Structure 1
């Protein structure tokens, strides 16, 4: 190749001579490579920046839910105030009011009612349950630690500004003074809020927890796994190992690939029409949610299983057939065990995708206000995503931090499931 202006060779590698045109082209290529690398690095930095922004926002809001403000009370339990043989029917609110009056002497009327309002509405039921579980406490004084109501929890955590005009605060000056009096007496504490994991949902933020949602999620995933895992693997084995290559099977394969890209809300509409309206299955049950997510996860599992089966070298099949094994023995004794790591990885990824779905579960009624922990797959329940949706839609400020904490818990579950998939792939994967 020659330089058209000088007629000299463009690049003489033997003599080391480089023309100006050649040097310009090399410089242009180097600049292009530099800008390509810079754009790639910038894209990664932007992605990590948004991820850090999201996690930072969740942590800065959700860490408030890691603790819960409690107050310690000495509760007298006189026998004449409790109904013998009917402890549930006793006036437990009056018992709590007497305990507050004894703790903050000199209060009566509206002032006493405001002092009682410092405690959570669930305090009376916590005391009742303690006494019902141990009736021998009747006639004694019970020392209990119960949550404060949400406004005072926000006050203690600094989310309510004391300098705000009284008309614009959820607590008035007298209530703040009473709360400070309890704090000065050493009765206010902020222990770790295990209730967010052990309590069921409640309309009171200080009592609300994720136990019901976690239990519902477990039942839903068990149902989904029990249905889509064997069916998905069976369909993949047939299509990859036994199905003849014809137009019908090609049509089936194309539709399986298309189903993997169908929006999840479509599966929710299908479940609403078929499982609820036609079959009459219970609304909001984890079993119905598991069926819905199983339909959504099946294409992913089938595609992943077929890819894992294809990755097994043909020599394995040929060697087994050469030794006299039947096609069934080849598949189930040789090919399937070697493909199982890839199958498990694809299944876990499909389950991780299913656990984060919300739209199809909303359509089948798994967003109801459920205060009881589900006892089985056919009990009404919520899941982690739908519980997050419910709390995010609540006007109570106390649910803001709990929503962020629930999102962090859900993200932690997803990260663990994906980490398990990566571990299984690296631990059992064979390279041919």
Structure 2
């Protein structure tokens, strides 16, 4: 009896010790999850805190007198006169309506700097498109200068330095009080390409460039990756050469992305002479980078198809090709699509390989084709983040929010497809 009690006590002590270890392990797991979630919250809070103002633009609405004498312009249809005209003069005159005491030339220059440099271009375009407006007064809305926008949106934030003089701040405060300077949704951000001035910079060019690049990547990587996976899994003989290919595919999945950029620079641009900074070259490079991921995921999806499917098809006289194309591939397609979407999401966030093929160029125009000069979202964010102007800080954060939205959407789509289309055997 004593021996049995001692053994039972030993078992109870052992169980208590094991249960304590399990509790500690659970605590460590919960703590790790809590740290990860806290890090995500901090990250998203920082990004959103800096980037939400990127979706807000600051504008100034003025009554602009289109005085031909002040602009040295008699005929808006005469290109020579238009090229020599002073289209900044009516903007300054509109500002002086609110501050008639500003008469000194130096003060006038300071006052004119409240409005963005593209204001004169708006006046010119208006007169070129409507010559009959010369001599009239028109209500026009302009984007303010970047320093004014930073002041209006971040005057109380010590993280932003205000570069306006005290006199300029007083002018802006008065215009804000009169409702002349206002903030609204930044439609410019979604309708233009890049610019030297943050207030005029947009992300549309980078979005179109990313879409064009992803189309090239998908068109090349998906069929080639699926075909390679089908061959290796269903038709390739088991020999040393096949083993060599499989090992190298697995190794390529772990190769740093910048290596693929060097490969694209050497082969597509150096050897084949393809142009730099175009979606076709970027898509080819990202397709090479994405191929291993698609092949590995497609092979895993093909392996998940039960052998009984193959045996049943062969039992009714189907050939090997018919078994694969009519039964195996359709059943494995959900897994293939899931892996492809995840690979595309990874490619969408890549920057290093595209920097090496010239997609870091300053692109103002929105690309209109696969061979147009373009950039992509990650590179655009990189360019803005490395700029000295404070206005680009919020644009970079806003761009990160858009990029994360695309990536989260693609990953959510992959999860939905897997849940919606997968079959359990």
TM-score, normalising length: structure 1: 0.92
CA shift, 1:216, in A, is 0.7
CA shift, 1:130, in A, is 3.5
Cα pair 2:65 2:137 within 8 Å, conserved: yes
Question: Aligned to 2:300, what secondary structure does the other structure show?
Answer: helix
Aligned length: 417
CA shift, 1:70, in A, is 0.9
Match of 1:86 among 74, 78, 86: 78
CA shift, 1:77, in A, is 1.9
Q: Does 1:238 align with 2:234?
A: no
CA shift, 1:30, in A, is 1.0
Q: Hey, what's the Cα distance between the residues in 2 that align with 1:161 and 1:36?
A: 44
> What's the counterpart of residue 219 of structure 1?
212
Q: Hey, what's the Cα distance between the residues in 1 that align with 2:138 and 2:311?
A: 77
CA shift, 1:358, in A, is 0.5
CA shift, 1:160, in A, is 6.5
> What's the counterpart of residue 106 of structure 1?
101
Q: Does 1:282 align with 2:279?
A: no
> What's the counterpart of residue 15 of structure 1?
none
Q: Deviations over 1:360-391 (max 9, x none)?
A: 01111111111111121112111100011101
Residues 322-361 of structure 1 correspond to what in structure 2 (within 5 A)?
A: 322-361=315-354
Cα pair 2:381 2:396 within 8 Å, conserved: yes
Q: Hey, what's the Cα distance between the residues in 2 that align with 1:204 and 1:332?
A: 55
Match of 2:301 among 287, 298, 308: 308
Question: Aligned to 1:143, what secondary structure does the other structure show?
Answer: strand
Match of 1:76 among 65, 77, 91: 65
> What's the counterpart of residue 153 of structure 1?
149
CA shift, 1:136, in A, is 4.1
CA-based RMSD of the aligned residues comes to 1.9
Q: Does 1:95 align with 2:90?
A: yes
Q: Unaligned 5+ residue runs, structure 2?
A: none
Q: Hey, what's the Cα distance between the residues in 1 that align with 2:65 and 2:26?
A: 73
Q: Deviations over 1:191-218 (max 9, x none)?
A: 0112212121111011111111111101
Q: Does 1:392 align with 2:381?
A: no
Match of 2:43 among 36, 48, 54: 54
CA shift, 1:91, in A, is 2.5
Cα pair 1:301 1:350 within 8 Å, conserved: yes
TM-score, normalising length: structure 2: 0.94
Q: Unaligned 5+ residue runs, structure 1?
A: 12-17
Match of 2:200 among 194, 207, 214: 207
Question: Aligned to 2:60, what secondary structure does the other structure show?
Answer: strand
Cα pair 2:216 2:284 within 8 Å, conserved: yes
Change (3 A) 1:104 1:42: same
Match of 1:292 among 285, 289, 292: 285
Q: Hey, what's the Cα distance between the residues in 1 that align with 2:40 and 2:401?
A: 13
Q: Hey, what's the Cα distance between the residues in 1 that align with 2:127 and 2:325?
A: 60
Change (3 A) 1:371 1:246: same
Q: Hey, what's the Cα distance between the residues in 2 that align with 1:256 and 1:138?
A: 68
Q: Hey, what's the Cα distance between the residues in 1 that align with 2:115 and 2:262?
A: 44
